Structure 1
């Protein structure tokens, strides 16, 4: 006995033929909380985050104050966004213009592939590995459109899902420089990376709809918890998953190997950028132009739009109501090119940002401890 949550969320992520689009939660409040209040919490978090960043940059107050304000802002943004995700309203009729999604998807993949060739040839002709990463991401975008039955059971989907993170790791290995591994050995950057990864994981799992604290219940299963094996069609292919419901919390959803893969890719890139930004802050680097921070903030929006589409539609629905229906189909329809495009953009922007930031002199790890130890031995 299940909630049927896995079926709905699987369609939202990458689609299963023959099923309707994800059934979102109806209503205008979440646990008695109005939509506008949840939106205000998210906006307050953004303001607090900006204030914390400015405090760290200007050094007007202690670093602890700036870090605390920045952390509080992140928590408020995540809490407000999760609340908005939980109160979506799903339209019933599918508009005619969604029939063009497969064509737009294929064209978008071609543009990404050709764009990778042109840009790399123009700026980095000595780094063909960038073309390889771009072609893999273009294939990711086109995959569900070009293969029969969206390629949900094709072995090529599993190979592609493994090839993208391997390509990102290879690019990091070749181009991030010797400073990047050393950054992760410093206490503050390492702690920043861990906290950032954890926060991103929570944000992603709720905003992508894989977890919910406002489950759709029926009279037959109310109060009955369960954990059951399942299959989820995201990303690209079917992945083994566990669907669950814990009424005492309440918490429902699923965890699949595919969702963990996406969290590892995007969360790892976001955490890497955050660690590099923390290194710049703690060493007094060129914080007026923090490359890692700019990349992380820029891509956070892209990731929320594409990979965490329910968050975008939840916010739009809270503000505009039924007028946000086009946003629902643009972001939630399985054949829409938006998800694949923003995933590709997120990977490219975050990877490029981390590589550039890793070469900042501020990210070089000083060997003060070794020098101090040698001086003490000589004395």
Structure 2
């Protein structure tokens, strides 16, 4: 099995469906000579730094720059530690019988999401049918590989659905985000935060989903030979053109596909939007008036950024608990598992709702002096 096939199989378990073979995974308790307990400690240290930085900025105990520095350092440590943990995954040899229920669970999950969208929107936002449309599209995303022949890997409907979901999200933002939302993204501090967050999320996603690796499984004829070759990856939903590569000098291996870039654009864009809104609230004089919105935005963005990369959950669990994490493997890494689709749907719904809600907070309003046509405000 080529490097890309191994990595693609791991990534497929998160958001699509595929027939690329078994997952090739690493074994052992070290990563590139580094003990797993040390990688776990780095991750926990990063979490502690993020919490300390948040408290510093929130309570004004020291300068905002010190708090922002702690937040940034913590985020880097969390991403570095998590990447190290998820790079080592134990692949069970036998498929348990209960995985045969996955297609049925997939179909039931899609029905629940569709009906739930109808009920919730009818109850809370009857004047906004576009929310039902987004919910139905996400339900179709979950059910797609179960309902179509051969998992719909070559069906044109898959490409249409993959384009319809981000289009629906953009339409919801266009109709429901506050009038200040575009200004928030163009303000200096929120704009920088959005760009940095998007970049960090992209790196985290690509490693946690298995599309990139610095600890590849190599066959004897691959060692020391770099290459870049065209490839096809069955994620998300359908086959996407990709480039598979291996650079032994780094070492770095993996693939980049149009499908993976689409997922990074959707999820990374939503996470970055939430982060920009949170940054705007934290750097505005009115931020103290809406602490619940700030906490909700940051918590939602952070939790979903991790949650949407479902393979990372198994990677960390397998690295820490070994073979005892086998059931988690099949829940998160099996291509037919409903977990990946549910994570994706929940991520899109929660992050979209969080951003729309936060964009209406008073702290996010952009005075005219903050807009590109005027002089920027000192708080930006």
TM-score over 0.5 (shorter chain): yes
- For 2:269, what is the secondary structure of its paired residue? helix
CA distance in 1, matches of 2:24, 2:301: 28
In structure 2, the CA distance between the partners of 1:99 and 1:295, relative to structure 1 (3 Å rule), is farther
Equivalent position of 2:264 in the other structure: 263
- For 2:142, what is the secondary structure of its paired residue? helix
Corresponding residue pairs, total: 371
Is the 1:280–1:290 Cα contact (8 Å) retained in structure 2? Answer: no
**Quick check: 1:253 aligned with 2:254?**
yes
- For 1:184, what is the secondary structure of its paired residue? helix
Is the 1:49–1:71 Cα contact (8 Å) retained in structure 2? Answer: yes
Written as runs of structure 1 = structure 2, the 5 A alignment for 1:178-217 is: 178-217=179-218
- For 1:87, what is the secondary structure of its paired residue? coil
Written as runs of structure 1 = structure 2, the 5 A alignment for 1:239-318 is: 239-287=240-288, 289-291=291-293, 293-305=295-307, 307-318=308-319
Q: Measure how far apart 1:369 and its partner are.
A: 6.4
**Quick check: 1:334 aligned with 2:348?**
no
CA distance in 2, matches of 1:83, 1:373: 45
Q: Which runs of 5+ in 1 are unaligned?
A: 375-379
CA distance in 2, matches of 1:81, 1:132: 35
The higher-RCO structure (CA 8 Å, 6+ apart) is 2
Q: Which runs of 5+ in 2 are unaligned?
A: 376-380
CA distance in 2, matches of 1:122, 1:242: 46
Q: Please give the per-residue CA displacement for 1:133-160, whole angstroms capped at 9, x wherever unaligned.
A: 0000000000000001110000000000
**Quick check: 1:36 aligned with 2:25?**
no
Q: Measure how far apart 1:290 and its partner are.
A: 4.4
- For 1:279, what is the secondary structure of its paired residue? helix
Q: Superposition RMSD on alpha carbons, in Å?
A: 1.9
Moved more, 7-16 or 131-140: 7-16
**Quick check: 1:140 aligned with 2:146?**
no
- For 1:243, what is the secondary structure of its paired residue? strand
CA distance in 2, matches of 1:112, 1:316: 28
CA distance in 2, matches of 1:46, 1:198: 19
TM-score by length of 2: 0.93
Is the 1:101–1:336 Cα contact (8 Å) retained in structure 2? Answer: yes
CA distance in 1, matches of 2:300, 2:172: 21
- For 1:285, what is the secondary structure of its paired residue? helix
TM-score by length of 1: 0.94
CA distance in 2, matches of 1:299, 1:180: 17
In structure 2, the CA distance between the partners of 1:22 and 1:11, relative to structure 1 (3 Å rule), is farther
- For 2:216, what is the secondary structure of its paired residue? coil
Equivalent position of 1:69 in the other structure: 70
Q: Measure how far apart 1:7 and its partner are.
A: 5.0
CA distance in 2, matches of 1:75, 1:177: 31
CA distance in 1, matches of 2:238, 2:66: 45
- For 1:40, what is the secondary structure of its paired residue? helix
- For 2:240, what is the secondary structure of its paired residue? strand
In structure 2, the CA distance between the partners of 1:84 and 1:266, relative to structure 1 (3 Å rule), is same
Equivalent position of 1:377 in the other structure: none
CA distance in 1, matches of 2:374, 2:226: 58
Return structure 1 stretches of 4+ with deviation > 4 angstroms.
Answer: none
CA distance in 1, matches of 2:153, 2:302: 28
